[in-house]
Amino acid sequence: MSTRPSSRPGITEQWPKHRGNIVMSLNPLDKVYFRMVNERCNPEIVGSGNSGKYCTVIIGHKEVEGVHRVKEMRGVEEFSGVSVRISKQDDVYTCLIDSTGRPSSVGVGNAGKEVTVIVHSDE
């Protein structure tokens, strides 16, 4: 593998590690998915209807306050909730969802891990 930096801009941004604990309030139209990171280090698909949207990806299965199931389509369960608590130890990323509904990569060391994906509404 080359040590030369990529000429393509990254579409995943890792949140800083020196932040404190955060309670993220969710918009009623935000969608929550509990997925896995595949061998290519991308979280599993969250639906092509989310194409072009940004999402927050938290490594690990997070408890979402007021969570309730909205629907299931093709084996992908969609949830909604009120808030999620993010601790300062959590690895958190802002990712862009591609045309197939797959969030951008969250890094090599995260393959096989569970993630909580929050797709933010356009409102």
pTM (global) more than 0.75? yes
Q: Taking the alpha carbons of 12, 13, 17, 20 in that order, is the dihedral positive or negative?
A: negative
d(CA 70, CA 96): 22
**Cβ neighbours of residue 40 under 8 Å, at least 6 residues apart?**
105, 111
Tell me what pLDDT residue 2 has: 46
Tell me what pLDDT residue 122 has: 76
Q: Which long-range contacts (CB under 8 A, 24 or more apart) does 25-28 make?
A: 25/82, 25/83, 26/64, 26/80, 26/81, 26/82, 26/83, 26/84, 26/118, 27/120, 27/121, 27/123, 28/80
pLDDT tens digits for the chain (123 residues)?
Answer: 445 554 555 689 999 988 899 999 999 999 999 999 999 999 999 999 999 999 999 999 999 999 999 999 888 999 999 999 999 999 999 999 999 999 999 998 999 999 999 999 876
Sequence spans of domains, the chain: 13-119
d(CA 20, CA 34): 24
Tell me what pLDDT residue 43 has: 96
C-alpha 73: how far from its chain's center?
18
Alpha helices in 5-116 (DSSP H): none
Tell me what pLDDT residue 64 has: 96
